[in-house]
Amino acid sequence: MSEIKAKGYLSPLSEEAKTSKWAYIKEWLCSTDAKRIGVLYLAFATFMGIFGGVLSILIRIELAQHGTVLFEDPSTYNALPGLHATAMIFFFIIPAFTGVANFVVPIQIGAPDMAFPRLNLAAFWILPPAALTTFFGFFLNSLPEFGWTAYPPLSNNVYSNMIGADFWVLGLVLVGVSSTMAAINFLATIFNMRCKGMKMFQLPLFTWSLVVTSFLILAATPVLTSALLMLTFERMFPGAFHFFNPAGGGDPILYQHLFWFYSHPAVYIMILPGFGLISSVIQTFSRKHIFGYALMAWSMMAIAVLGFLVWAHHMYTTGIALEVRVGFMFLTMLIAVPTGIKIFSWLATMWGGSIKFDTPMLFALGFIAMFTIGGLSGVVLASVSVDIQLHDTYYVVAHIHYVLVAGSMMTIFAGVYYWYPKITGKMYNRFWGKVHFWITAIFLNVTFFLQHWMGVKGMPRRYYDYDPQFEWANAIASYGSYVLFIGQLIFVANLIWSWKNGEDAKANHWYGDGIHLEWFIPSPPDHHNFHEPPEWKPIVRHHEHPDQPAGLWHSYKD
Amino acid sequence: MSRHANTETDMRPPIDSTGASTRPFRQSLKAGSRYAFFAAIAVVMLFAAILLPSTALAIPGSGEFVALYSEGGREITELYNMIAKICLAILIIVEGALLVAIIKFRRRSDDDRPLQNHGDLRLEFAWTMGALAIQIWIGVATINVMFSTETKPDHIDMTVVAEARQWEWDFHYEFDDERGSLTHTDLVVPAHKNIQLQVTSVDVLHAIFIPDLGIKLDAVPGRYNNWWFRADGPVAQVRPEDHATVEREQWERPQTRSGAIRQGQDAAARPVTGLERRVDYLGVGRTVEEVSPYEGYNAVEYQGTCAELCGLDHWDMYFRTVVMTPSSFNRWVDDQLARVDVADGQTIYDGECAACHGADGTGVGQYPPLVGSDIVSDPDLADEHIDIVLAGVDASPPMQAFEARFNDAEVAAVINYEREEHGGEGAGIITEDDVAERREALGFEPFPATTIEPEDTDELMRVGERLYQSCITCHGADGVGPDYIPSIAGSEVVLEEEPVELIRILIEGRDLDEWPGQKRPLAQGLSDMELAALLTYLRQSFDNDAPVVQPFDVNDIRSELEQTPTE
Amino acid sequence: MAAKEASIMEGPGAGEENLGVTNGKIGMWTFLVMDAMTFAGILAGYARIRWGSPADAPWPDPLDAFGVVGIQLTAFNTFVLICSSVFMVHVLAEQMRGNMEAAQKWLMATIFGGMIFLGIQAFEWTHLIIDKFGLVVLAGCNENFPATFYLLTGFHGLHVAVGVIYNTFLLVMMRRGKVTEEHTSTTEIAGLYWHFVDLVWILVFTFVYLIPVHPPGS
């Protein structure tokens, strides 16, 4: 076996691993190095992202034409939207951000590793079994058919008496455990392991977003766990437990309260890391410091706090009192304020800057352009009367996909392209990166845009078949989704190909404009990131000397 | 490259206080021609980003938003249009600023060193307050609409209970007068009346959704959710007798408070000739017939459906929502109460009559056609029509007598089918009572209809098993339970030929000496169907083998029990 | 190899605004936030079901509902758990004084308290199940009363069991000299968990056993 040549943290640690490929792989899988775990997270998320993408393609094939296209039996179709959502939310977006953060956060705060390296490894290794458990129904030909929301009574054992549903619930509890472990780890790391000179309000915004996100996970996930626990008892012992069963004195709406108490904050769990990440990208490629740093950090905290107080806006049609709905509506609308602040601050950061259009920046720009649409359709949906009309229609589908595809997914791409040179020490193929961006930007609009129209016209969600008046729009959406999916394969191929064949990356790869600690160590970083404890000094900004050399926007001592 | 950069530096004009470069725009374009490619693509992208949503968020007043046919719906539509306008404006500002930034501030030289600024408190304060103000504006406007559309009016003209089940709807109508009540699978309401909708479910969550009327409400088992509305109908409902005080103009052009929406089409002043607007899709199971059952009424039809995932056929729960003129509505109610099922009539006709009279009623060979026959089309000759069907015709070719083969309802059904289908308009319809009368007059044995069809045993067992989940706690999954609880398996009470005693226990409860607690009247609230299902399940599970109990059996026993109360 | 990687940095970094405690303590605090939210979710569900129970299936009065077992025994059990929590304070105090012998004795008392609690709870459950808890109370009452009872006390009992194992583990470490008087934060972290379990029990006890359906005087 030839010797394994790799630089930095990629290089084998033990003598055995230097010569044996299997020992090297084993070393990777058991490594407690946050950087390696981060890469494992990203690889896992990529796999699950493709899996979720395939599920969505199956959905779109069925909907491409009026009438039965792919599935003779509607029950197979009914399972797909829920499984697609589960795969994308719990196994793609959240792990992808956790992966990026695992790599970047310890370095950004000047720490050698996470606070609990073994807990970190354990949190990752819960995920693959959790995924297997969640989707175990595929092997048993028994899939949960109640959507990702799993509202009882439909999800109890009388109406969904399939074993696959029990596995699904158990899998979600495991994912919750995993993400809670990761959140505890991030909080301990960021609160306690910053290097000399790094104060809370000097943290890079990406790290800040992880603080906020971790708090969200910590406080919200257990509530979902308790709801799923109650649901499991009801499913397992139908004679004795009736928490959500009106026939036994329970309340089906209670589940919705508990569920949305988690699942609304979950939306912010999925978008706040993206907000933080995009701030880094924009300031690097605009050569300007972020505009209104403190307000950016505070607005993330405001979003998190408000995110806990708005869950019932998913339940306007369940018959809750008018006064309660008014309260939830105002809190919901308040979220638009900090979100607006962030959008305007990004624009102001670019304003007067020097913008370079590399792939990460293209994704950042695409994110701002498209996410604004998702944000504004959210304002439309916040209005109770309008929401009642649009609730559970394709308008909501369009909204959530503009938020999660144009928001979370594009920021994940921006982050992966942005830190790819740092993670691998190689440069990705720029041409295919741009092709990937344009396919994504254009075809996500083709796919999701007309769904606004369908919703306004009254096409409900989770429909196996629909009124023929929606056929043309659904056909366009389906063709758009096929191209969108193929575009993502280009991304995966580009990353894998470039890891072997790309040019070597520089330490501060992006024109010397990276201003956070990760850009001041080699690409890829060494084991333990820093050879001696780093010291962070407040950024020295040069207002009066436009001719200063690149990369000296702040001083930093290694 | 470096020369270029130097030129840039040399050309750099003095810096103004805002920190933005004041370099002339044209010069910057020339210098940055290498980025023209990106700029052009950015323009295209942003153009798309602005144009697409402008249609998505619906250009105000374009009528994209469909809740236009009820008073509340129009207010919501107006609100939507207002919010859409605001959002569109914000979107244009954001995308415009983004576009300008991309073009104006693109990197022209690798040595560009932009001026730094870390924020601007006044600017940050301004957009925070601006965003807040807009949100409050939208919020207050929404509250206005909420109170205006949701506050229950002083007078409710009619209440309809919408009961959802997997996967169909039942609508229960209660009338104040002697007409009693009515259950139908379509939602039929009079126009311009305050209708209260009470939505509930018997199994899982559903949601009633009628886009055109702006109605959506979850159907939650064990709860009644209330909504009220006032729907538009065809133009005729504004005729003076019902709405003498209403200005005709107002009905012809339904308006919102600001007059933003004018949907004149439905209300155009033209004579009403029956069904004004027809639903053209009702799901896979129910193809929309050529002739709508509401063809004979002054009405409009809207599509209704289910919006909350409820299992297998969630996507196929469509129902008709029909809004009628008040007089048509009254006629419809009377027709329904005297209802004979035309569909059943057709089945009988196709099976028994079509061979001679032809499927289209034009006659086969020497058998006479029904189309054009006075007996079939003249309302005054309806009795003779009944007589012929009951007694047959002793002529050549002869027609057999059907009096012993079909009961009153079936005879009425086939006669009504013939009169509607072949007799044409104005032929009138008959009732079961008419048939019973003629039977008596002709001297035949009475043959009243058994109106209740026996239920399918599998269905009874399915429902019964679900209901039994509530009994498991005491009686156990195997029907045996602990010592001091009477066993269901093999119980004489359960296996009795006519389970009078069992029903009595279930609906009245029973105290037993050996039982530590009190037995409560568990099944009091169950319907005949549910009780029959439960009984059937008890009698055919746990190795029991007693006959199926049908809902009408339960009904009989119940009325028996009511007459002989326990001591 | 993994151990080598893991032992890089256990304490705070050099940053001036770092919290200055061990990572483990922050980890335990954040874990307790999470755990508290789990209980909050279940308790919120309990409250919604209890105070939203329909008129035809009212919530039984806890004072009548526990039948032969009664709540006196559980009140005693609460007392035992509180005592155990106090013992845990002594463990830390003795450890800080350097008296590891005494610390171990107190820790044994703590563990013993937890075991008594579990024993009494097992006794209570056994009797309630044998006496068909649920059936007796159930005549006309909300069937979720026993359901929530078993869920809440069971979930809490699980925490106590984990705590007993955790403390036993700590005791073994002390005996083997792996935890000495210098490792006060190890004990402190275990104590945090144990006090939390105690605190949650007081909430569960109040909700499930104490709050009457008909308050006195009504």
Q: H or E element: which one contains A99?
A: helix A94-108
The DSSP bridge pattern shows strands B319-324 and B187-190 to be parallel
- Point out the residue among A247, A319, A545 whose CB comes nearest to the CB of B470: A247
Q: How many CB atoms lie under 10 A from the CB of residue A416?
A: 23
Contact of B303 with chain A, judged by CB distance below 8 Å, is answered with yes
Contact of A247 with chain C, judged by CB distance below 8 Å, is answered with no
Question: What is d(CA A242, CA A158) in angstroms, rounded to the nearest whole number?
Answer: 12
Contact of B400 with chain A, judged by CB distance below 8 Å, is answered with no
- Point out the residue among C54, C136, C143 whose CB comes nearest to the CB of B517: C136
- In which residue are the tokens 């993670």 written? A423
* Among the listed residues C200, C204, C125, C203, the one whose alpha carbon sits nearest the alpha carbon of residue C163: C200
Q: Which of C48, C53, C129, C132 to mutate to test the interface with B (most CBs of B within 10 A)?
A: C132
Q: What is the dihedral of CA A95, A99, A102, A105, to 10 degrees?
A: -100
**Tens of each residue's pLDDT in chain A, 558 residues:** 466 778 889 888 888 888 888 999 999 999 999 999 999 999 999 999 999 999 999 999 999 999 889 998 888 999 999 999 999 999 999 999 999 999 999 999 989 999 999 999 999 999 999 999 999 999 998 999 999 999 988 998 888 888 999 999 999 999 999 999 999 999 999 999 998 888 888 899 999 999 999 999 999 999 999 999 999 999 988 777 888 988 777 889 999 999 999 999 999 999 999 999 999 999 999 988 888 888 999 999 999 999 999 999 999 999 899 999 999 999 999 999 999 999 999 999 998 888 999 999 999 999 999 999 999 999 999 999 999 999 999 999 999 999 999 999 999 999 999 999 999 999 999 999 999 999 999 899 889 988 988 898 889 999 999 988 899 999 999 999 999 999 999 999 999 999 999 999 988 899 888 888 898 889 899 988 888 888 887 655 444 444 444 333 443 333
Q: Which of A148, A296, A356, A383 to mutate to test the interface with B (most CBs of B within 10 A)?
A: A383
- Point out the residue among A14, A221, A528 whose CB comes nearest to the CB of C8: A528
Say what the pTM is.
Answer: 0.79
Using CA atoms, how far residue B32 sits from A351, B36, B45, B148, B545, in Å, is 17, 7, 19, 57, 90
At residue B16, the pLDDT reads 36
Cβ-contact A300, A433 below 8 angstroms:
no
Could you say which DSSP state residue A22 is in? H
Cβ-contact B142, A379 below 8 angstroms:
no
Q: How many CB atoms lie under 10 A from the CB of residue C78?
A: 21
Residues of chain B with pLDDT under 70: 1-64, 235-273, 285-291, 338-344, 425-426, 448-455, 473, 482-484, 509-525, 562-567
At residue B247, the pLDDT reads 37
At residue B23, the pLDDT reads 42
| Tokens linked to B267 | 């209300």
- Point out the residue among C12, C30, C40 whose CB comes nearest to the CB of A184: C30
Q: What are phi and psi of A467, to 5 degrees?
A: -60, 130
* Among the listed residues A252, A273, A260, the one whose alpha carbon sits nearest the alpha carbon of residue A182: A273
Interface of A with C in 255-294 (CB under 8 A): 257-258, 261
Question: What is d(CA B517, CA B515) in angstroms, rounded to the nearest whole number?
Answer: 6
Cβ-contact A262, A307 below 8 angstroms:
no
| Residues of chain A contacting residue C133, judged by C-beta atoms under 8 Å apart | none
**Which region, left, alpha or beta, applies to residue C177 given φ > 0 means left and ψ of -120 to 50 means alpha?**
left
Q: How many CB atoms lie under 10 A from the CB of residue A248?
A: 22
The β-bridge partners of C154 are none
The β-bridge partners of B196 are B159, B228
Q: How many CB atoms lie under 10 A from the CB of residue B181?
A: 10
Strand order across the B181-184 sheet = B181-184, B168-174, B158-165, B195-201, B225-229
Give percent above pLDDT 70 in chain A. 96
| Residues of chain B contacting residue A366, judged by C-beta atoms under 8 Å apart | 45
Q: Do A347 and B118 touch (CB under 8 A)?
A: no
Using CA atoms, how far residue A173 sits from A55, A184, A218, A265, in Å, is 22, 17, 14, 17
Sign of the dihedral defined by the CA atoms of residues C110, C112, C113, C117, in that order? positive
* pLDDT tens for each residue of C123-170: 888 888 777 666 555 566 777 888 888 899 999 999 999 999 999 999
Report the SS3 class of residue B409: helix
DSSP string covering A152-209:
TTTTSTTT---HHHHHHHHHHHHHHHHHHHHHHHHHHHHHH---BT--GGGS-HHHHH
Question: What is d(CA B497, CA A22) in angstroms, rounded to the nearest whole number?
Answer: 75
Report the SS3 class of residue B324: strand
Contact of B511 with chain C, judged by CB distance below 8 Å, is answered with no
A311 Cβ contact partners less than 8 Å away, ≥ 6 residues apart: A257, A260, A261, A263, A264, A265, A328
Contact of B113 with chain A, judged by CB distance below 8 Å, is answered with yes
Using CA atoms, how far residue A411 sits from A97, A406, B248, in Å, is 9, 8, 57
Contact of B518 with chain C, judged by CB distance below 8 Å, is answered with yes
**Mean pLDDT in residue range C61-79:** 79
At residue B454, the pLDDT reads 64
Domains and CATH numbers, chain C: 67-211 (1.20.120.80)
C192 Cβ contact partners less than 8 Å away, ≥ 6 residues apart: C25, C28, C29, C32
* pLDDT tens for each residue of C187-209: 999 999 999 999 999 999 998 88
Question: What is d(CA B355, CA B400) in angstroms, rounded to the nearest whole number?
Answer: 13
Name the interface residues of C facing B (CB cutoff 8 Å).
54, 132, 134-136, 138-140, 143
* Among the listed residues A265, A249, A270, A353, the one whose alpha carbon sits nearest the alpha carbon of residue A101: A270
| Residues of chain A contacting residue C16, judged by C-beta atoms under 8 Å apart | 196-197, 199
Q: Do C139 and B222 touch (CB under 8 A)?
A: no
* Mean pLDDT, all residues of chain C: 85
| Residues of chain C contacting residue A211, judged by C-beta atoms under 8 Å apart | none
* Among the listed residues B156, B263, B278, B241, the one whose alpha carbon sits nearest the alpha carbon of residue B251: B263
The residue that leads in pLDDT, C6 or A75, is A75
Question: What is d(CA A123, CA A506) in angstroms, rounded to the nearest whole number?
Answer: 32
Report the SS3 class of residue B189: strand
Angle ∠(A33,A38,A39) on CA atoms, nearest 5 = 105
The β-bridge partners of B231 are B70
- In which residue are the tokens 């949503």 written? B53
The DSSP bridge pattern shows strands B299-306 and B225-229 to be unpaired
Cβ-contact A68, A135 below 8 angstroms:
no
At residue B420, the pLDDT reads 79
Q: Do B520 and C140 touch (CB under 8 A)?
A: yes
